[in-house]
Structure 1
Amino acid sequence: MEFVLYRVSQPGTSRRRRSLREVAMVTDDHGVLAWLFQTVHDRPGVPMLKRVDPYRDLEFTSAEMEQLIAELDQVAPSADEFKGGLETVRAVRALAQRCLEDPELVVRFVGD
């Protein structure tokens, strides 16, 4: 699974003219994100993370980043069980923060 930050270019209103340019990426080498998204289904208060499927792609806009960041902060301590887990979640959070600050960016969880 990967977490990718994209810059959106969409001249006009047609979605057919929409293009994405990769800005940055976090690769989940240790399976931390996949594990987190499988375990959050039992947690209250993380509706956005519950939407993530480790085998499918899911895109979030900058307008959704405040909630996503709050949910990442909530689950981050659980990631410490994995080698490199907390660093992975922090890296994802940093890209989410960049997306929050720039409405021309989106983030996408890319499943396997």
Structure 2
Amino acid sequence: MELKQGYLQLHPLNTSNQDMISAIQKMGCSLGFEAFITQSSLSRQGIPSATICCPTLVIASEDDAIRSMKEAEELVEAIPYASLRIIRDSGHMIPLEQPRELARTIVEWIPAT
């Protein structure tokens, strides 16, 4: 299975990074077509996020072509005790594109909760 849309998941600076593209393709193959389609078409509408009552960290990227900043902001507004952190120079695949920044963001947030 070739995942051409993997390119859409990456920040524009990474769209020709063959290692990242290969990793996304391998994840898609290991996940399987049915699960990939299910995940890709998930609707986040109507999820009762306000039922989450613990500190919550929402991490987003301004350059995510799959999930918008507006969606991240809506989550933060709907979840009590939620915080928003933005990872720069990344698309949707933050763990692949900015793993150190992601880890730093989480580690810094944990003591603040």
Q: Same fold (TM over 0.5)?
A: no
Q: Normalising by structure 1, report the TM-score.
A: 0.29
Q: Normalising by structure 2, report the TM-score.
A: 0.29
Relative contact order (alpha carbons < 8 A, sep ≥ 6): 1 or 2 greater?
1
Q: Radius of gyration: which is bigger?
A: 2
Which structure is higher in helix share?
A: 2
Which structure is higher in strand share?
A: 1
